[in-house]
Structure 1
Amino acid sequence: MDLGLAGKVVFVTGGSRGIGRATAVAFAREGARVAFSYHSDKEEAGVTAAAIGAEALAVRFDLADPESMGSAVAAVRERWGGIDVFVANAVRWPDSLPDPGRRFEDVPRQEWRDLLRPNVEGAIAGLQAVLPAMRGRPDGRIVLVSSDVARHRGPGTPGLGIYGSSKAALAGLANGLIAELGGDILVNIVTPGFTVTERNLAAMPQRLRDERAAHTPTGRLSTPEDVARAIVFLGSPANGNITGEVLNVTGGV
Protein backbone atom coordinates (compact mmCIF):
# COMPACT_ATOMS: atom_id res chain seq x y z
CA MET A 1 0.00 0.00 0.00
CA ASP A 2 1.40 3.39 -0.99
CA LEU A 3 1.00 5.62 2.05
CA GLY A 4 1.68 8.78 0.02
CA LEU A 5 4.53 9.96 2.24
CA ALA A 6 7.24 10.39 -0.40
CA GLY A 7 8.68 13.89 -0.08
CA LYS A 8 6.53 14.79 2.95
CA VAL A 9 8.26 16.59 5.83
CA VAL A 10 7.84 14.81 9.15
CA PHE A 11 8.90 16.07 12.59
CA VAL A 12 9.06 13.49 15.41
CA THR A 13 9.83 14.69 18.93
CA GLY A 14 11.69 12.38 21.28
CA GLY A 15 13.28 10.50 18.40
CA SER A 16 16.62 9.49 19.85
CA ARG A 17 15.49 6.05 21.01
CA GLY A 18 12.54 3.72 21.61
CA ILE A 19 9.22 4.42 19.94
CA GLY A 20 10.43 7.79 18.64
CA ARG A 21 13.41 6.27 16.86
CA ALA A 22 11.33 3.45 15.37
CA THR A 23 8.79 6.02 14.16
CA ALA A 24 11.36 8.33 12.58
CA VAL A 25 12.99 5.41 10.76
CA ALA A 26 9.63 4.05 9.60
CA PHE A 27 8.65 7.40 8.07
CA ALA A 28 12.02 7.62 6.32
CA ARG A 29 11.49 4.17 4.80
CA GLU A 30 8.28 5.50 3.26
CA GLY A 31 10.26 8.23 1.49
CA ALA A 32 9.55 11.08 3.92
CA ARG A 33 12.09 13.72 4.90
CA VAL A 34 12.46 13.30 8.64
CA ALA A 35 13.46 15.66 11.41
CA PHE A 36 13.53 14.47 15.00
CA SER A 37 14.31 15.98 18.34
CA TYR A 38 16.50 14.79 21.17
CA HIS A 39 16.91 16.10 24.70
CA SER A 40 20.59 15.65 25.58
CA ASP A 41 21.99 12.37 24.26
CA LYS A 42 23.78 13.34 21.06
CA GLU A 43 25.25 9.86 20.69
CA GLU A 44 21.82 8.19 20.58
CA ALA A 45 20.58 10.94 18.27
CA GLY A 46 23.45 10.06 15.95
CA VAL A 47 22.31 6.44 15.89
CA THR A 48 18.82 7.54 14.82
CA ALA A 49 20.20 9.90 12.18
CA ALA A 50 22.37 7.13 10.74
CA ALA A 51 19.36 4.80 10.56
CA ILE A 52 17.32 7.46 8.74
CA GLY A 53 20.00 8.35 6.23
CA ALA A 54 21.48 11.47 4.66
CA GLU A 55 18.23 13.48 4.81
CA ALA A 56 17.94 13.22 8.60
CA LEU A 57 17.78 16.40 10.67
CA ALA A 58 18.41 16.17 14.42
CA VAL A 59 17.34 19.15 16.55
CA ARG A 60 17.46 19.66 20.31
CA PHE A 61 14.23 20.08 22.26
CA ASP A 62 13.62 20.25 26.01
CA LEU A 63 10.02 19.79 27.20
CA ALA A 64 10.77 22.00 30.19
CA ASP A 65 11.94 24.80 27.88
CA PRO A 66 9.13 25.79 25.47
CA GLU A 67 11.47 28.24 23.75
CA SER A 68 13.50 25.31 22.46
CA MET A 69 10.56 24.03 20.41
CA GLY A 70 10.39 27.31 18.51
CA SER A 71 14.06 26.97 17.65
CA ALA A 72 13.59 23.34 16.61
CA VAL A 73 10.67 24.16 14.30
CA ALA A 74 12.60 27.08 12.83
CA ALA A 75 15.46 24.72 11.95
CA VAL A 76 13.07 22.33 10.18
CA ARG A 77 11.44 25.18 8.24
CA GLU A 78 14.81 26.54 7.22
CA ARG A 79 15.76 23.13 5.85
CA TRP A 80 12.51 22.15 4.11
CA GLY A 81 10.13 25.13 4.17
CA GLY A 82 7.28 23.64 6.18
CA ILE A 83 6.01 20.59 8.05
CA ASP A 84 3.38 18.10 6.90
CA VAL A 85 3.35 15.65 9.81
CA PHE A 86 3.99 16.27 13.50
CA VAL A 87 4.41 13.39 15.96
CA ALA A 88 4.39 14.54 19.60
CA ASN A 89 6.28 11.70 21.24
CA ALA A 90 8.73 13.42 23.60
CA VAL A 91 8.01 12.69 27.26
CA ARG A 92 9.32 13.43 30.74
CA TRP A 93 9.49 10.17 32.70
CA PRO A 94 9.15 9.87 36.48
CA ASP A 95 12.52 10.10 38.20
CA SER A 96 12.03 6.72 39.90
CA LEU A 97 9.76 3.70 39.86
CA PRO A 98 6.42 4.31 41.65
CA ASP A 99 6.15 3.32 45.30
CA PRO A 100 2.95 1.25 45.68
CA GLY A 101 3.05 1.77 49.45
CA ARG A 102 2.77 5.56 49.23
CA ARG A 103 -0.67 7.15 49.62
CA PHE A 104 -2.03 9.68 47.16
CA GLU A 105 -2.13 12.47 49.74
CA ASP A 106 1.52 11.90 50.61
CA VAL A 107 2.81 12.69 47.12
CA PRO A 108 4.40 16.18 47.22
CA ARG A 109 2.77 18.78 44.99
CA GLN A 110 6.17 19.59 43.51
CA GLU A 111 6.42 16.01 42.26
CA TRP A 112 3.17 16.52 40.37
CA ARG A 113 4.38 19.81 38.91
CA ASP A 114 7.72 18.32 37.85
CA LEU A 115 5.94 15.79 35.63
CA LEU A 116 2.72 17.55 34.61
CA ARG A 117 4.29 20.81 33.48
CA PRO A 118 6.79 19.44 30.96
CA ASN A 119 4.47 16.73 29.62
CA VAL A 120 1.36 18.91 29.28
CA GLU A 121 2.87 22.35 28.70
CA GLY A 122 5.59 20.85 26.52
CA ALA A 123 2.96 19.27 24.28
CA ILE A 124 1.09 22.58 24.08
CA ALA A 125 4.28 24.49 23.25
CA GLY A 126 5.12 21.97 20.55
CA LEU A 127 1.70 22.25 18.93
CA GLN A 128 1.70 26.05 19.08
CA ALA A 129 5.14 26.18 17.50
CA VAL A 130 4.46 23.67 14.74
CA LEU A 131 0.96 24.64 13.58
CA PRO A 132 2.05 27.80 11.68
CA ALA A 133 4.46 25.57 9.73
CA MET A 134 1.64 23.13 8.88
CA ARG A 135 -1.30 25.36 7.97
CA GLY A 136 -2.03 25.67 4.26
CA ARG A 137 -0.19 22.48 3.30
CA PRO A 138 -2.15 19.49 1.99
CA ASP A 139 -2.44 16.27 3.99
CA GLY A 140 -1.52 17.76 7.36
CA ARG A 141 -1.41 15.16 10.12
CA ILE A 142 -0.75 15.32 13.88
CA VAL A 143 -0.25 12.21 15.99
CA LEU A 144 -0.03 12.49 19.78
CA VAL A 145 1.60 9.59 21.60
CA SER A 146 -0.16 8.80 24.89
CA SER A 147 0.11 5.78 27.19
CA ASP A 148 -2.08 2.93 28.35
CA VAL A 149 -1.36 4.15 31.88
CA ALA A 150 -3.77 7.02 31.15
CA ARG A 151 -6.73 4.63 31.02
CA HIS A 152 -5.68 1.32 32.60
CA ARG A 153 -7.34 0.67 35.95
CA GLY A 154 -4.73 -1.41 37.66
CA PRO A 155 -3.58 -1.27 41.30
CA GLY A 156 -3.52 2.30 42.59
CA THR A 157 0.02 3.63 42.35
CA PRO A 158 0.50 7.38 43.00
CA GLY A 159 3.58 7.72 40.79
CA LEU A 160 1.77 6.20 37.83
CA GLY A 161 -1.18 8.48 38.54
CA ILE A 162 0.94 11.55 37.89
CA TYR A 163 2.31 10.19 34.63
CA GLY A 164 -1.12 8.89 33.59
CA SER A 165 -2.70 12.28 34.27
CA SER A 166 -0.13 14.01 32.09
CA LYS A 167 -0.87 11.59 29.23
CA ALA A 168 -4.65 11.74 29.69
CA ALA A 169 -4.45 15.50 29.07
CA LEU A 170 -3.59 14.78 25.43
CA ALA A 171 -7.19 13.69 24.83
CA GLY A 172 -8.41 17.15 25.78
CA LEU A 173 -5.82 18.77 23.53
CA ALA A 174 -6.88 16.59 20.61
CA ASN A 175 -10.57 17.36 21.12
CA GLY A 176 -9.92 21.08 20.94
CA LEU A 177 -7.71 20.75 17.89
CA ILE A 178 -10.04 18.62 15.77
CA ALA A 179 -12.84 21.17 16.19
CA GLU A 180 -10.58 23.98 15.02
CA LEU A 181 -8.60 22.21 12.30
CA GLY A 182 -11.42 20.19 10.74
CA GLY A 183 -10.28 18.38 7.61
CA ASP A 184 -7.22 20.58 7.05
CA ILE A 185 -5.05 18.79 9.63
CA LEU A 186 -6.17 15.44 11.03
CA VAL A 187 -5.37 14.83 14.70
CA ASN A 188 -5.22 11.41 16.35
CA ILE A 189 -3.76 9.69 19.41
CA VAL A 190 -1.80 6.45 19.55
CA THR A 191 -1.80 4.74 22.93
CA PRO A 192 0.93 2.15 23.44
CA GLY A 193 0.71 -0.45 26.18
CA PHE A 194 3.84 -1.87 27.74
CA THR A 195 6.37 -1.74 24.91
CA VAL A 196 9.75 -3.47 24.86
CA THR A 197 11.87 -0.32 24.60
CA GLU A 198 15.39 -0.14 26.00
CA ARG A 199 14.06 1.76 29.01
CA ASN A 200 11.37 -0.79 29.83
CA LEU A 201 13.68 -3.73 29.30
CA ALA A 202 16.04 -2.24 31.87
CA ALA A 203 13.24 -1.49 34.35
CA MET A 204 11.32 -4.78 34.25
CA PRO A 205 12.88 -8.21 34.92
CA GLN A 206 12.32 -10.98 32.38
CA ARG A 207 10.01 -12.84 34.78
CA LEU A 208 7.62 -9.90 34.95
CA ARG A 209 7.76 -9.38 31.20
CA ASP A 210 6.86 -13.02 30.68
CA GLU A 211 3.93 -12.70 33.10
CA ARG A 212 2.67 -9.64 31.31
CA ALA A 213 2.98 -11.28 27.89
CA ALA A 214 1.08 -14.32 29.20
CA HIS A 215 -1.86 -12.06 30.11
CA THR A 216 -1.81 -10.31 26.73
CA PRO A 217 -4.34 -11.74 24.22
CA THR A 218 -1.81 -11.73 21.37
CA GLY A 219 0.68 -13.60 23.53
CA ARG A 220 3.46 -11.04 23.21
CA LEU A 221 4.38 -7.51 24.19
CA SER A 222 4.44 -4.73 21.61
CA THR A 223 7.71 -3.64 20.03
CA PRO A 224 8.55 -0.02 19.17
CA GLU A 225 8.06 -1.00 15.51
CA ASP A 226 4.48 -2.14 16.24
CA VAL A 227 3.67 1.30 17.63
CA ALA A 228 5.57 3.07 14.86
CA ARG A 229 3.51 1.38 12.13
CA ALA A 230 0.29 2.68 13.71
CA ILE A 231 1.72 6.20 13.96
CA VAL A 232 2.94 6.17 10.36
CA PHE A 233 -0.45 5.13 9.02
CA LEU A 234 -2.35 7.80 10.97
CA GLY A 235 0.29 10.35 9.94
CA SER A 236 0.03 9.54 6.24
CA PRO A 237 -2.30 10.59 3.40
CA ALA A 238 -3.50 6.95 3.40
CA ASN A 239 -5.44 8.08 6.46
CA GLY A 240 -7.97 10.04 4.50
CA ASN A 241 -10.67 10.88 7.05
CA ILE A 242 -9.77 9.56 10.49
CA THR A 243 -9.49 12.30 13.11
CA GLY A 244 -10.10 12.56 16.83
CA GLU A 245 -9.55 8.85 17.38
CA VAL A 246 -7.49 6.88 19.89
CA LEU A 247 -5.70 3.83 18.51
CA ASN A 248 -4.54 1.41 21.20
CA VAL A 249 -1.43 -0.67 20.46
CA THR A 250 -1.57 -2.98 23.46
CA GLY A 251 -1.87 -6.52 22.11
CA GLY A 252 -5.53 -6.50 23.17
CA VAL A 253 -5.01 -5.76 26.86
Structure 2
Amino acid sequence: MDYALAGKIALVTGASGGIGGSTARAYAREGATVAVAYRDNVDAAKQLAEELGGFPVHYLLEEPESAFGEVADRCGGVDVLVTSAVKPGAKRGPGTPFESLPADAYAGFLDDNLTGTLRTVQLALPSMRQRGWGRIVLVSSRVVDGGKPGREIYGAAKAGLHGFASSLSWDVGRDGVLVNVVCPGMVEGTAGLPPDAVAGECARTPTGRLSTAEDVAEAVLWLGSGANRNVTGQALTVAGGR
Protein backbone atom coordinates (compact mmCIF):
# COMPACT_ATOMS: atom_id res chain seq x y z
CA MET A 1 0.00 0.00 0.00
CA ASP A 2 1.24 3.47 -0.87
CA TYR A 3 0.74 5.73 2.14
CA ALA A 4 1.98 8.79 0.19
CA LEU A 5 4.07 10.00 3.13
CA ALA A 6 7.48 10.43 1.49
CA GLY A 7 8.72 13.93 2.24
CA LYS A 8 5.92 14.66 4.71
CA ILE A 9 6.58 16.03 8.20
CA ALA A 10 4.81 14.15 10.99
CA LEU A 11 4.68 15.42 14.58
CA VAL A 12 3.89 12.65 17.06
CA THR A 13 3.20 13.69 20.64
CA GLY A 14 3.55 11.16 23.43
CA ALA A 15 6.25 9.47 21.39
CA SER A 16 7.94 8.10 24.51
CA GLY A 17 4.93 5.83 25.16
CA GLY A 18 4.21 2.48 23.57
CA ILE A 19 1.57 3.69 21.12
CA GLY A 20 3.37 6.96 20.39
CA GLY A 21 6.69 5.23 19.81
CA SER A 22 5.16 2.59 17.55
CA THR A 23 3.36 5.29 15.62
CA ALA A 24 6.56 7.29 15.14
CA ARG A 25 8.27 4.17 13.80
CA ALA A 26 5.39 3.45 11.43
CA TYR A 27 5.54 6.93 9.90
CA ALA A 28 9.31 6.81 9.54
CA ARG A 29 9.01 3.40 7.86
CA GLU A 30 6.77 4.97 5.22
CA GLY A 31 9.17 7.81 4.45
CA ALA A 32 7.96 10.64 6.66
CA THR A 33 10.33 12.80 8.66
CA VAL A 34 9.17 12.40 12.26
CA ALA A 35 9.33 15.06 14.93
CA VAL A 36 9.53 12.98 18.10
CA ALA A 37 7.78 15.01 20.78
CA TYR A 38 8.83 14.50 24.40
CA ARG A 39 7.97 16.05 27.76
CA ASP A 40 10.72 14.98 30.16
CA ASN A 41 12.75 12.12 28.72
CA VAL A 42 15.00 13.94 26.30
CA ASP A 43 17.52 11.07 26.10
CA ALA A 44 14.87 8.57 24.99
CA ALA A 45 13.49 11.08 22.46
CA LYS A 46 16.95 11.73 21.02
CA GLN A 47 17.61 8.00 20.76
CA LEU A 48 14.31 7.35 18.97
CA ALA A 49 14.76 10.33 16.67
CA GLU A 50 18.25 9.15 15.75
CA GLU A 51 16.90 5.66 15.07
CA LEU A 52 14.20 7.04 12.79
CA GLY A 53 16.18 9.79 11.06
CA GLY A 54 13.93 12.43 12.58
CA PHE A 55 14.45 14.98 15.32
CA PRO A 56 13.34 15.48 18.95
CA VAL A 57 10.94 18.27 19.90
CA HIS A 58 10.17 19.43 23.42
CA TYR A 59 6.39 19.42 23.85
CA LEU A 60 4.13 20.36 26.75
CA LEU A 61 0.36 19.92 26.59
CA GLU A 62 -0.05 23.07 28.64
CA GLU A 63 2.29 25.05 26.37
CA PRO A 64 2.55 23.50 22.90
CA GLU A 65 3.70 26.67 21.12
CA SER A 66 7.41 26.00 21.58
CA ALA A 67 7.20 22.63 19.84
CA PHE A 68 5.69 24.15 16.73
CA GLY A 69 8.30 26.88 16.78
CA GLU A 70 10.99 24.19 16.64
CA VAL A 71 9.25 22.35 13.79
CA ALA A 72 8.68 25.59 11.87
CA ASP A 73 12.37 26.48 12.17
CA ARG A 74 13.41 23.10 10.79
CA CYS A 75 10.67 22.25 8.29
CA GLY A 76 8.27 25.17 7.93
CA GLY A 77 5.34 23.31 9.46
CA VAL A 78 3.69 19.92 9.81
CA ASP A 79 1.73 17.77 7.37
CA VAL A 80 0.60 15.14 9.89
CA LEU A 81 -0.24 15.57 13.56
CA VAL A 82 -0.75 12.61 15.89
CA THR A 83 -1.70 13.47 19.47
CA SER A 84 -1.08 10.63 21.90
CA ALA A 85 0.32 12.62 24.83
CA VAL A 86 -1.61 12.52 28.10
CA LYS A 87 -0.74 14.42 31.26
CA PRO A 88 -1.57 12.04 34.16
CA GLY A 89 -3.99 12.81 36.96
CA ALA A 90 -7.66 12.89 37.96
CA LYS A 91 -8.02 9.18 38.71
CA ARG A 92 -10.63 8.57 41.42
CA GLY A 93 -9.59 5.97 43.96
CA PRO A 94 -11.76 3.09 45.25
CA GLY A 95 -14.22 4.14 47.94
CA THR A 96 -14.08 7.79 46.96
CA PRO A 97 -17.44 8.96 45.58
CA PHE A 98 -17.35 11.16 42.52
CA GLU A 99 -19.18 14.00 44.26
CA SER A 100 -16.38 14.31 46.80
CA LEU A 101 -13.83 15.38 44.17
CA PRO A 102 -12.93 19.07 44.46
CA ALA A 103 -13.08 21.13 41.29
CA ASP A 104 -9.31 21.51 41.14
CA ALA A 105 -9.01 17.71 40.94
CA TYR A 106 -10.46 17.72 37.44
CA ALA A 107 -10.39 21.28 36.08
CA GLY A 108 -6.63 21.20 35.61
CA PHE A 109 -6.71 17.76 34.02
CA LEU A 110 -9.37 18.81 31.52
CA ASP A 111 -7.51 22.02 30.74
CA ASP A 112 -4.18 20.29 30.17
CA ASN A 113 -5.47 17.30 28.22
CA LEU A 114 -8.53 18.48 26.30
CA THR A 115 -7.78 22.19 25.95
CA GLY A 116 -4.09 21.44 25.40
CA THR A 117 -4.89 19.07 22.54
CA LEU A 118 -7.26 21.58 20.93
CA ARG A 119 -4.56 24.25 21.10
CA THR A 120 -2.05 21.80 19.57
CA VAL A 121 -4.40 21.25 16.63
CA GLN A 122 -4.83 25.00 16.20
CA LEU A 123 -1.07 25.38 15.86
CA ALA A 124 -0.83 22.59 13.29
CA LEU A 125 -3.58 23.82 10.98
CA PRO A 126 -2.06 26.93 9.33
CA SER A 127 0.69 25.01 7.52
CA MET A 128 -1.76 22.26 6.53
CA ARG A 129 -4.22 24.75 5.06
CA GLN A 130 -1.42 26.55 3.26
CA ARG A 131 -0.22 23.31 1.68
CA GLY A 132 -3.75 22.13 0.87
CA TRP A 133 -3.12 18.81 2.59
CA GLY A 134 -3.06 17.58 6.16
CA ARG A 135 -3.93 14.67 8.41
CA ILE A 136 -4.77 14.84 12.12
CA VAL A 137 -5.25 11.75 14.29
CA LEU A 138 -6.29 12.20 17.91
CA VAL A 139 -5.63 9.19 20.15
CA SER A 140 -8.59 8.70 22.49
CA SER A 141 -9.62 5.59 24.43
CA ARG A 142 -12.21 2.84 24.47
CA VAL A 143 -13.05 4.15 27.97
CA VAL A 144 -15.26 6.67 26.16
CA ASP A 145 -17.65 3.90 25.09
CA GLY A 146 -17.01 1.15 27.61
CA GLY A 147 -16.34 3.14 30.76
CA LYS A 148 -13.96 2.27 33.57
CA PRO A 149 -14.33 2.69 37.33
CA GLY A 150 -12.73 5.88 38.59
CA ARG A 151 -11.94 7.29 35.15
CA GLU A 152 -14.83 9.76 34.77
CA ILE A 153 -12.60 12.79 34.15
CA TYR A 154 -10.28 10.91 31.82
CA GLY A 155 -13.35 9.69 29.91
CA ALA A 156 -14.73 13.23 29.70
CA ALA A 157 -11.45 14.57 28.31
CA LYS A 158 -11.17 11.80 25.73
CA ALA A 159 -14.86 12.00 24.75
CA GLY A 160 -14.35 15.67 24.02
CA LEU A 161 -11.96 14.72 21.23
CA HIS A 162 -14.75 12.87 19.41
CA GLY A 163 -17.11 15.84 19.30
CA PHE A 164 -14.22 18.10 18.40
CA ALA A 165 -13.10 15.97 15.45
CA SER A 166 -16.57 15.51 13.99
CA SER A 167 -17.22 19.26 14.02
CA LEU A 168 -13.72 20.35 13.00
CA SER A 169 -13.96 18.15 9.91
CA TRP A 170 -16.52 20.62 8.51
CA ASP A 171 -14.12 23.52 8.92
CA VAL A 172 -11.00 21.94 7.43
CA GLY A 173 -12.22 19.30 4.98
CA ARG A 174 -12.34 21.54 1.92
CA ASP A 175 -8.77 22.62 2.61
CA GLY A 176 -7.61 19.02 2.20
CA VAL A 177 -7.31 18.31 5.91
CA LEU A 178 -8.81 15.12 7.38
CA VAL A 179 -9.23 14.71 11.14
CA ASN A 180 -10.08 11.46 12.92
CA VAL A 181 -9.91 9.72 16.29
CA VAL A 182 -8.45 6.32 17.20
CA CYS A 183 -9.68 4.62 20.37
CA PRO A 184 -7.39 1.89 21.70
CA GLY A 185 -8.62 -0.65 24.19
CA MET A 186 -6.34 -2.27 26.75
CA VAL A 187 -2.93 -2.61 25.12
CA GLU A 188 -0.63 -5.59 25.53
CA GLY A 189 2.42 -4.88 27.63
CA THR A 190 1.01 -1.88 29.49
CA ALA A 191 2.95 -1.53 32.73
CA GLY A 192 1.12 -2.54 35.86
CA LEU A 193 -1.64 -4.60 34.25
CA PRO A 194 -2.42 -7.55 36.57
CA PRO A 195 -2.56 -10.95 34.85
CA ASP A 196 -6.17 -11.56 35.90
CA ALA A 197 -7.27 -8.28 34.30
CA VAL A 198 -5.51 -9.21 31.06
CA ALA A 199 -7.06 -12.70 31.07
CA GLY A 200 -10.53 -11.31 31.71
CA GLU A 201 -10.20 -8.75 28.92
CA CYS A 202 -9.00 -11.40 26.46
CA ALA A 203 -11.94 -13.64 27.39
CA ARG A 204 -14.37 -10.81 26.55
CA THR A 205 -12.69 -9.96 23.23
CA PRO A 206 -13.75 -11.61 19.94
CA THR A 207 -10.16 -12.04 18.78
CA GLY A 208 -9.13 -13.50 22.15
CA ARG A 209 -6.17 -11.18 22.56
CA LEU A 210 -5.26 -7.62 23.44
CA SER A 211 -4.19 -5.18 20.78
CA THR A 212 -0.50 -4.41 20.58
CA ALA A 213 0.87 -0.89 20.31
CA GLU A 214 1.75 -1.80 16.72
CA ASP A 215 -1.89 -2.71 15.98
CA VAL A 216 -2.96 0.74 17.12
CA ALA A 217 -0.12 2.43 15.25
CA GLU A 218 -1.14 0.83 11.95
CA ALA A 219 -4.66 2.24 12.33
CA VAL A 220 -3.25 5.67 13.13
CA LEU A 221 -0.89 5.41 10.17
CA TRP A 222 -3.63 4.68 7.66
CA LEU A 223 -5.97 7.41 8.89
CA GLY A 224 -3.10 9.89 9.01
CA SER A 225 -1.73 9.22 5.55
CA GLY A 226 -2.40 9.79 1.87
CA ALA A 227 -3.92 6.31 1.70
CA ASN A 228 -6.86 7.79 3.57
CA ARG A 229 -8.46 9.85 0.86
CA ASN A 230 -11.88 10.77 2.26
CA VAL A 231 -12.45 9.47 5.80
CA THR A 232 -12.85 12.32 8.27
CA GLY A 233 -14.72 13.15 11.46
CA GLN A 234 -14.78 9.48 12.50
CA ALA A 235 -13.73 7.48 15.56
CA LEU A 236 -12.16 4.05 15.03
CA THR A 237 -11.89 1.60 17.93
CA VAL A 238 -8.90 -0.76 17.96
CA ALA A 239 -9.78 -3.34 20.60
CA GLY A 240 -10.20 -6.72 18.91
CA GLY A 241 -13.92 -6.24 18.29
CA ARG A 242 -14.88 -4.90 21.73
Name the counterpart of 2:59. Answer: 61
Deviation at 1:61, TM superposition (A): 1.1
Name the counterpart of 1:41. Answer: 41
Question: Which consecutive unaligned segments of at least 5 residues does structure 1 have?
Answer: none
Matched, 1:144 2:138: yes
Segments of 4+ in structure 1 off by > 3 A?
A: none
How many residue pairs match? The answer is 241
Deviation at 1:118, TM superposition (A): 0.5
- SS of residue matched to 2:31: coil
- The letter for the 1-side match of 2:197 is L
2:111 alignment partner, one of 102, 112, 117:
117
TM-score, normalized by length of structure 2?
0.94
Matched, 1:133 2:127: yes
Q: Please give the residue correspondences for 1:175-186 in structure 2 after superposition, counting only pairs within 5 Å.
A: 175-183=166-174, 184-186=176-178
1:11 and 1:86 in contact (8 A); partners too: yes
Matched, 1:195 2:190: no
Q: Deviations over 1:124-177 (max 9, x none)?
A: 1101111112212143111111011112145xx3x3001010100101211231
Instruction: Measure, in 2, the Cα distance between the counterparts of 1:219 and 1:43.
Output: 36
- SS of residue matched to 1:203: coil
Deviation at 1:244, TM superposition (A): 0.6
Deviation at 1:42, TM superposition (A): 1.5
Instruction: Measure, in 2, the Cα distance between the counterparts of 1:122 and 1:164.
Output: 16
Question: Which consecutive unaligned segments of at least 5 residues does structure 2 have?
Answer: none
Instruction: Measure, in 2, the Cα distance between the counterparts of 1:47 and 1:83.
Output: 21
- SS of residue matched to 2:15: coil
Instruction: Measure, in 2, the Cα distance between the counterparts of 1:252 and 1:86.
Output: 26
Instruction: Measure, in 2, the Cα distance between the counterparts of 1:43 and 1:196.
Output: 25
Name the counterpart of 2:75. Answer: 80
Matched, 1:5 2:5: yes
2:46 and 2:55 in contact (8 A); partners too: no
TM-score, normalized by length of structure 1?
0.90
Deviation at 1:189, TM superposition (A): 0.5
Instruction: Measure, in 2, the Cα distance between the counterparts of 1:89 and 1:70.
Output: 17
Q: Decide whether aligned partners of structure 1 residues 237 and 167 sit closer, same or farther in structure 2, where only a CA change above 3 A counts.
A: same
2:166 and 2:234 in contact (8 A); partners too: no
- Compute the RMSD of aligned alpha carbons: 1.6
Identity rate, percent: 45
Deviation at 1:205, TM superposition (A): 1.5
Instruction: Measure, in 2, the Cα distance between the counterparts of 1:46 and 1:153.
Output: 36
